[in-house]
């Protein structure tokens, strides 16, 4: 594009939806996560877990795994039942933690800094919107994520009723 030509190009991003959930037996204890990615009628399921973790870490790992799976900049709508994640983003807590060198307003250190840093980095690569979905309320994809996350927790020694 030449300077002053008045021409510009609008790049339309691919629109992707994600459903995420985490589960943990014991909290801390064995945990699992799941992310379901929906794009143009296709579905991709990501799953994983850790032998010793927390529910919040698994919730965050689900979101991170989904964003890491994207090969290009996208517009992403993430459905999550995690108030921890949603409130941290929507209420500006994450921005404040970054500004305050990972110290909360109560002067205590932020937990899970490693995952917050990774999530923040990934969110800069995409246009991300979060939407809270009530857990265990019949949402098809949220229920699927919950079931998969619990399976992953059980594979690592967790209890089925996580």
Q: Which of 53, 64, 47, 2 is nearest to 28 (CA)?
A: 53
Q: Of the residues 22, 31, 32, 66, which is catalytic?
A: 22
Tokens of 156: 């690592």
The verdict on whether 87 is a catalytic residue reads: no
Active-site residue identified among 41, 72, 136, 138: 136
**22 a catalytic residue:** yes
Please say if 59 is a catalytic residue: yes
Kindly name the residue from 17, 29, 31, 59 that is annotated as catalytic.
59
Cis ω for the linkage preceding 28 (within 30 of 0): yes
Q: Among residues 17, 29, 32, 146, which one is catalytic? A: 146
Edge-to-edge order in the sheet of strand 74-80? 42-53, 29-39, 14-24, 74-80, 127-132
The residue annotated as part of the active site, out of 17, 21, 50, 152, is 21
Q: How far is CA 64 from the centre of its chain?
A: 5
* Catalytic-labelled residue, pool 81, 126, 152, 158: 81
Based on the residue annotation, tell me whether 146 is a catalytic residue of this protein: yes
Length of the chain: 162
- What is the DSSP secondary structure assignment for residue 43, as one 8-state letter? E
- Active-site positions read 21-22, 59, 81, 136, 146
């Amino acid at each position: 594009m030449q300077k002053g030509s008045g021409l510009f190009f609008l790049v339309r991003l691919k629109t992707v939806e994600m459903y995420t959930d985490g589960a943990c037996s014991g909290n801390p204890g064995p945990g699992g996560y799941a992310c379901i990615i929906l794009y143009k009628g296709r579905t991709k399921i990501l799953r994983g877990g850790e032998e010793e973790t927390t529910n919040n870490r698994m919730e965050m790992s689900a979101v991170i795994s989904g964003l890491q799976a994207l090969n290009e900049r996208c517009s992403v709508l993430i459905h999550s039942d995690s108030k921890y994640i949603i409130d941290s983003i929507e209420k500006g807590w994450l921005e404040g933690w970054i500004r305050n060198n990972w110290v909360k307003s109560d002067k205590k250190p932020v937990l899970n800094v490693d995952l917050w840093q990774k999530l923040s980095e990934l969110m800069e690569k995409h246009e991300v919107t979060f939407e809270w979905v009530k857990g265990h309320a019949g949402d098809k994809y949220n229920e699927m994520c919950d079931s998969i996350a619990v399976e992953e927790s059980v594979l690592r020694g967790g209890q089925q009723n996580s």
